[in-house]
Amino acid sequence: MSFVIAAPEIPAAAGVQILMIGLAGFGAGAINALVGSGTLITFPTLVAIGYPPVTSTMSNTIGLVAGHMSGSWGYRAELHGQWHRLRWQIPASLTGAALGALLLLHMPENVFGKVVPALLVLALLLVAIGPGIQSWARRRAERAGDSVERITTGRMAALVLGTFGVGLYGGYFTAAQGILLVGLMGAVLPESVQRMNAAKNVLGLVVNLVAAFGYTLVACDRISWPVAGAIAVGSLLGGSLGARYGRRLSPKALRAMIIVVGLIGLFRLLMV
Per-residue pLDDT reduced to its tens digit, 46-96: 888 888 888 888 899 999 999 999 999 988 888 888 888 899 999 999 999
Does residue 250 have a pLDDT over 60? yes
Is 10 a member of any domain?
no
Is 265 a member of any domain?
yes
Confidence of residue 4 (pLDDT cuts 50, 70, 90): very low
Is 107 a member of any domain?
yes
Is 261 a member of any domain?
yes
pLDDT in tens, 93-144: 999 999 988 887 777 766 766 777 777 777 777 777 766 766 676 676 666 6
| Burial annotation 128-149 (CB, 10 A radius, 16+ → b, else e) | eebeebbeebeebbeeeeeeee
Is 33 a member of any domain?
yes
pLDDT in tens, 215-242: 888 888 888 889 999 999 999 999 998 8
Enclosing domain of residue 208:
17-271
Is 75 a member of any domain?
yes
Which pTM does this prediction carry? 0.75
Number of structural domains found in the chain: 1
Is 9 a member of any domain?
no
Is 218 a member of any domain?
yes
Decide: 261 and 44 in contact? Cβ < 8 Å. Answer: yes
